[in-house]
Structures are given as structure tokens and as C-alpha cells.
Amino acid sequence: MLSMSEPKTKEEYEKIVKECTQELKNTKINPQIFIKRANAYEQLENYEEAFKDVRNALSLDQNNKQYIEKAHQILKKSTDKVNSRTPTNIVRGLIADSCNATEDIRKRVESAERLAGLTKDSAFAKIAGQEGGVELITNALMNEVKQKDNQEFRIRLRMALIGTLSKIAGVKDFTTLILERINKTTISLLIDTADEKRAYLGMDLLKTLFNTATDLPLNKARILAQAREVSLNHLCNILVQDVNTNIKVNSVHTIINIIVDKASAIAFTGTSGFVTLLGCAAEKDDRIKPMVALAVSRIISHMNGEDRSIRENCESTISDWLNADKETDKMKGLSALASIFQANVDVGKSILLSKGFLADIMDTIDFESDQFQTLFIDVLSQACADKSCRENIAERCTGFLLKNLKLESKNEIRIDSALVLTKLMFIRKEITEMLLKEDNLSDSFIERVIDNKRDLNSRINAVEGLSYMTIFAPIKEKIASNDVFLKSLTDLAKRENQPLQYGITTIIGNITQYPRELTEEEKQLKKIKEFSKEQSIVKDDERDKAEYVVKRIEKVLKNNGILTLIALSKTESSNAHESLSQIFLNIVTEKKYRGQVVQQGGVKILFKLINSKTNTDKGKIIATQALAKIAITMDPRLAFKNSKATDLVRPLLVMCKKGDLLQQFEGLMALTNLGSIDDDLRSKILKEDGIKIIENLQFTENVMVRRAATEALCNMMYEPEVYTTYIQSPNKIKLLVALSDVEDFETKRAASGALAVLSQAEEIIQHIKKVNYGYEVIKNLLTDKSPELQHRGAEITKNIIINSKKGDENLNRLKNMGCINQLEVLTHSPTPAISRCAVEALLWIRKNNLF
């Protein structure tokens, strides 16, 4: 303890405070002066200022035991003085009790755990920081290292104290204070690798700390950099220790969270810790390899394109490993390169295509072990994601890979080589021919996928190989006929592995894909190629025709196809989402499969694909088209009972605006069906500005789209706002009259149907009168062979008669055009609705003596 001076008067203590304050201003800051003033404040019972001075002294001399004791002493006096249960006083007391080494261990644990619980609330965490939590907890943890008794309680104490410190780390005001205390000793205390939970607690503290430490003032940059360097070195050292794999995985995850900007990324790539991290790509545990790739990917992304340093460091490190004598070092080099390709293809490419790199490996590849060759082939497979790499690999490695196809005794190397060759098919045609001759290669891929005892990476590679090979009709048929294979895809699709899920999506997409209708220009180009004997890699095959596709789709559906697609929909890949949308469209193209898609939950997934932020615009329209097909042939109230039919309106209108002609046609057909159901759906179409979109499509040159647009509008005439708009618009009525006289029967039927509904309003008569050929159109409807058109003509004529007075020009024009005589003829129609309408019109004439 510090020695106390003889008792002084209040005035004397106040004088000491003034003298110390002046001395701190005039001389170099000294912790002893802070302590002297703290003693004076303590005697004046100004514990808050006394505690501030002790904290300042501790910041200058962190491990001084006398200062720590003084802090505890002042905290206790302060707590005793303030009896009220304010948040500050509660936290102050808990800190004092949990950090006081002389206190009973059980009481300390109880206080520490209560404090850890309270500080989950950021307000309490801030109070804990203000009340000296950082300094006192850090020193308490240091003291705990020496304690050997009551280990169960002491472990609980350390965990609670670290938990509290982690919450304080989330308060920006105290970030620097904690960073100053990160050194080799404290980092070992915070991350206790002897226990998984305790290690996680320390790592979580670091994640919180460095995420909070962004945007620190420049004068604190050195403190931040030093703390980050110490933390990263310690975490990287854990990676090569004999500890629980979960701890290693979380170490890499923490490394990712600590490197948060360009400066920290560049600094780390020049350290031995980065080399250690790269070396972990050779770990046998499948959980660590992808984490290494993820870490490298994040580091590169922080560099914002300025990744020269990491390219050079990676190339130098990998070259050193590959040129080493030890097999383990060589394997480490290839594993690191494979991870780099997974992380960033451009960085991987710069290494693989650097001068002499690939040539040097190929010079000695035949003398390397099977394990080395297998890993090298995996690197080539990763590298094939880049076009220039594919070209170089095709040029330098094709011979080696083709030779491997003959190695019946080394099946793993043989199949892995085949995978790379499938990626080179579009570079060299002879590769394609060779692969197709090796019929059992696809069988080997299929066996790998089905074998659930194989490691996941091996199965992923097999899926990837089949994703390339299923562009060929024979392979499509082989896969579609293998029930076990198709069912195995369901379980694999549930794995949260993006390359795997995308590969499965590609396979199902290929085997369910209908042949695309070639444009005239494409047909001519194809003929020219055939004439010049330039052959396509994928040749025409009878088994690519629609009837074969339908059968393959049936087999996919029979073998959990929809369940597989539902599992695949959880991926976040935009390409996969677009492909899934296309697969669903392929399936519902055949009417008989639409009910199955609805029953098994496909509608919900299609809505998910439409609303997905990761799906492409093209993919969203394709998913909408699939739902449109369902809405056209099924009752929307049944098809969309779990997903509101109204939710489909907006996507359909988007498709009508942006889609191709077929998509516009099917979108309009679906809107027609929806508009016929109830008022809510018609109101939704109106609210989404659907009338304008539909009307615009009436002017298209395509007859089917124009017809569908007119049919959709006909159903919308029952919506009051639409009805009112039309009866007030002569131009809209003129267009409907014109469309009621076109050659296309369905268009004529829809337009005249709309007129029949609208003609109940008196205003329509005046609009029709202004159309020169209006009454001629009515006459043509009345005399048409179609009962449907006759009925529409009769309704329009009846409504004109009812809304006219004797002597009106409308009546005379109807009579002169022969419409009244035609009504007489229609009274004998075998269709009751027509005869009844004609009779009603004629009775009105006689009743009101209109002629």
C-alpha cells in the first residue's frame, strides 16, 4: 500500500490538488503525481475524481500492484458511500468484488457472472468501461494465471471477466484502452486453447474489438497496428498447434474479422503468419481448407485491386515450397495454389502463368508421386475457371491428362484427369472425341456421386465433371435412367456448398432443357458450317428432341426432382438461381407436370426466385413465365392458395414490359385468367398500372400478343375505374371497334365482348356514332357464323336501342344498315342467350314505338 501522510485539514488537501494539477501542466506527466492527487481527492471524499487519477496512473504503469490496490480501495469507499442502487453503483460494486484478489472466490465468481450478464446491455458495458473495468479486469486476469487452487471456480471467473471485457470492447470510447493492453502475454490469457468455449470467448473479444476499432484517429494507428500484429501472429500460431480443429477453424474466422481494410491486408501478407495460413491449405481436415480460401479471398478483396504484393508473396512462397526436397512442402505449395484459385482466379492465374512455372512442373511430373500428381490435377481443375489458363493447360498438359485416361490401375488420377479434360473440350475437339469414346468415364463420375462414403471434395469433382458431360445427349439419357443417381442428388443438394449446388443445378438443367428454336440467321449459319465441314462439339442428336426431354423430366420428377430443386433454392448464387428458374420452366412446359409442381411446393420456390435479390433479371422473368404457365391452365385459387395470387400480378406486368413475345403472350394470358377471378385481383392489376401496359401491347404487330392483350382488357371492363375511363375516351372505343373487325377470331371476340359490356353506358353510343364504320362492324357481328360474335353484336345493338329515343340518328343508321332485320333473324337462333337478347331488343322498339 502507498503510505498515507499525516491527517490534514480540508484546506490542505485542496491545496495539494491545486499543486498537483499545476505540476501536471508544467512538467512531464508522472503517475506518482496522479496518485498524490488521487489521495487528496480520496480524503476530500471526491471518489469519482480520485478514481480518474488512479486510472490515469494505471494507463502509464499498467501492472503496478499499489495502483491496482488503490483503485479497489477507492471503488469500495465509493460504493459504501453511495447506498442507492443506481446502475453506476451496481456496476462499480460488481467490478470491485469480482476483481479483488482478496475477496472469497465464490463471491468473485458470482459478481463476475452477474457483471457479464449486465454488460450484454451496451449501456451497462459503457458504465463498466467508465468505472475502470478495462484496467481492473485485465489486471485481475493477469493475477489469475498464478492461482492454482479452486480451478473450477477460477475458470468460471476468467470466462465471466473475458465476457465482460468483450462487451466493453464493443463501446468505441474504450477501444484504445483495450488495444493498449493487447500483447503476447494478455493474448495468451484471452485465448485459452485448452478449452473450446474459453478459446471462442477470447476470439469473439478480438472480433468485436477490431470491428469497433475502425476509423480511429491517426495518432492511434500505431497502437491499432501493433495490437493487430500481435493478435494475428497468435492466431496463426494456433493453426500449427496440436489443438481442437474447431478452434483452428474459428482462428481463421477471427483472422478474417481482424483484417478489415487495405492497410491491414497488405501488412499481413508480408508476415510469416500469412505463410502459415497458406500452409494450412494442406490440412487434411475438410473444414480448414475452404476457410483458408475464404480468408485469402477476403484479404484480396480489401486490397481494392492493388494486389501486387500478395501476388508476389504468394508466388515466392509457393515456388519455395515446390522447389523444396520434402514431399510435404511440395504438397503444401500445390494446396496453397489450389486455395488461391478458389479465392481469386486472377491471383492464381498470375502465379500459374508466370514464366516457367507450369513448364517446370511438367518437366518432372512423371517422376512425382501419385499424391502430388492428384493434387496438381486438382490445381489444373481450379485453374480452368479462367480462359487463358484453359488455353495454356490445353497446350502444355493435354498429353499428360490424356495419357492418364489409360491408367486403369490408378482410377483416382484417371477420373480427376477426365474432369480437367471435360473443361478443355471447347478448346480442342479431339479431347471431346476421346472422352466420348471412354464410355465408362461418365459411369465412374456417377459412381463417385452415389458413393456417400467418399469425401465430399471427390463427389463435388464428379458432379462438376457430369455438369460438363451432360451437354451430350447419350450422357443425358444415361443419367435420367439412373434412379439411384437422381435420388442421391437430393441429399447432396442439401449440403451448403455453392460449387456442389451449382453443379447439380447444371446437371438437372442440361437433362431437362428443351431444344431451342433457331432464328433464320442461326439456321443459315449452321448450314454454312456444315458446308465448310466445320463441326460443332455438340452434334445434332435425336435424343435432344422434345419428346425425349419430356420423358427425362418425368424421370427426374419421379426421383425427388422437386425436393432437389427446393434444396438447391437455398443457394445464394445468381447463376444457380437463374438456372433453377429455367429448370422449373422446363418442367411446367408440359401441362401434365404443372399440378405436381404445385402439390410439391414448387410455386413457393418460384415466388422465392422472383423476389430473390441474387437472382438475375432474366432469371426472375423466367420464373414468372413458369408461374404464368401454371396460372393459364389451373385455377389460380387452387394453384396459389399458399402464395397469394395477387403477388403474381406485378411480376407478370414486369414480364409483359420486358419479356420476349412468348413471355408477353403468356403473361397476358395469365393476367386474363387472374382478372376473371375476383375484384381484388382486378384492383391489383389496376393499382400496378397494368392497364397502360396491357393497352400498349394492343399495338404490337404480333397477332397472338395483340389478341391476348385485348382478352386481358375485356376482363378488366368489370373494374369500375376501367369502365369509367373507357366510356369517357372516344379513342379507346374507336380502337375496340376496329379490333372487333379484324381477321383474328379471338381478338375480334375479346374486343366485341368489351364493347358489349361498355355499351350499357349512353356515352358509348355517341362514341360509336363518331366511328365511320362503327355500324358496319355491328352488322358484321350480327351476321357472323359464330354464335359468340352474334351474341356480342346483339348485346351492343340492344344497348344502343335502349339508350336511344324515337327519331335518333343511331336508330336510323341501325335500320338502314339492316341490323334491325338481322335481329328478327336471330330471334330464331338455337342459342337461347342470342334469341333472348334479340327478342328483348325488338320488344323495346315496339313498347316505346321507336319506329
Predicted pLDDT at 2: 41
Predicted pLDDT at 83: 55
Same domain, 157 and 194: no
Predicted pLDDT at 769: 81
CA–CA distance, 442 with 544 (Å, rounded to integer)? 18
Q: Is 677 a member of any domain?
A: no
- Domain extent at residue 62: 8-81
Same domain, 89 and 69: no
DSSP string, 139-181: HHHHHHTT--SSHHHHHHHHHHHHHHHHHHHTSGGGHHHHHTT
Same domain, 135 and 208: no
- Per-residue CA distances from 114 to 86, 102, 156, 590 (Å): 15, 19, 12, 64
Q: Is 219 a member of any domain?
A: yes
Same domain, 88 and 57: no
Predicted pLDDT at 217: 80
Torsion, CA 417, CA 422, CA 423, CA 426, rounded to 10? 140
CA–CA distance, 448 with 670 (Å, rounded to integer)? 44
Q: Phi first, then psi: what are they for 830, rounded to 5°?
A: -70, -10
Torsion, CA 452, CA 454, CA 459, CA 465, rounded to 10? -120
- 70, 40, 47: which is closest to 58 by C-alpha? 70
- Per-residue CA distances from 592 to 512, 550, 633, 671 (Å): 15, 10, 10, 21
Pair 316, 275: CB distance under 8 Å: no
Q: Is 356 a member of any domain?
A: no
Same domain, 154 and 94: yes
Last residue of a domain, one of 169, 193, 220: 169
The three grid cell numbers given for residue 34, joined into one nine-digit string:
496522479
Beta-carbon contacts of residue 132 (< 8 Å; ≥ 6 apart): 51, 54, 55, 58, 71, 75, 95
- 747, 739, 733, 724: which is closest to 800 by C-alpha? 733
Predicted pLDDT at 487: 95
SS3 312: helix
Same domain, 165 and 190: no
State the amino acid at position 774 in one-letter form: G
- 148, 161, 180: which is closest to 63 by C-alpha? 180
Same domain, 131 and 189: no
Q: Is 478 a member of any domain?
A: no
In the chain, how many domains are there?
A: 3
CA–CA distance, 670 with 665 (Å, rounded to integer)? 9
CA–CA distance, 819 with 154 (Å, rounded to integer)? 104
User: SS3 helix, strand, coil % of the chain, rounded to 5?
Assistant: 75, 0, 25
Using a 10 angstrom Cβ sphere, with 0-12 exposed, 13-18 middle and 19 or more buried, the burial of residue 788 is middle
Predicted pLDDT at 408: 75
Q: Is 104 a member of any domain?
A: yes
Last residue of a domain, one of 169, 187, 221: 169
Predicted pLDDT at 7: 54
Rounded to an integer, what is the distance from CA 134 to the centroid of its chain?
39
Pair 743, 783: CB distance under 8 Å: no
Predicted pLDDT at 85: 66
Predicted pLDDT at 456: 85
Same domain, 48 and 63: yes
Q: Is 627 a member of any domain?
A: no
Last residue of a domain, one of 238, 255, 272: 255
Q: Is 222 a member of any domain?
A: yes
Predicted pLDDT at 3: 43
3-state SS record for 707-776: HHHHHHHHHHCCCHHHHHHHHCCHHHHHHHHHHCCCCCHHHHHHHHHHHHHHCCCHHHHHHHHCCCCHHH
Predicted pLDDT at 764: 85
Same domain, 40 and 16: yes
Same domain, 243 and 198: yes
The ranges of the chain with pLDDT < 50 are: 1-4, 532-533
Pair 639, 601: CB distance under 8 Å: no
Q: Is 124 a member of any domain?
A: yes
Same domain, 108 and 176: no
Predicted pLDDT at 535: 54
| CATH number of the domain encompassing residue 26 | 1.25.40.10
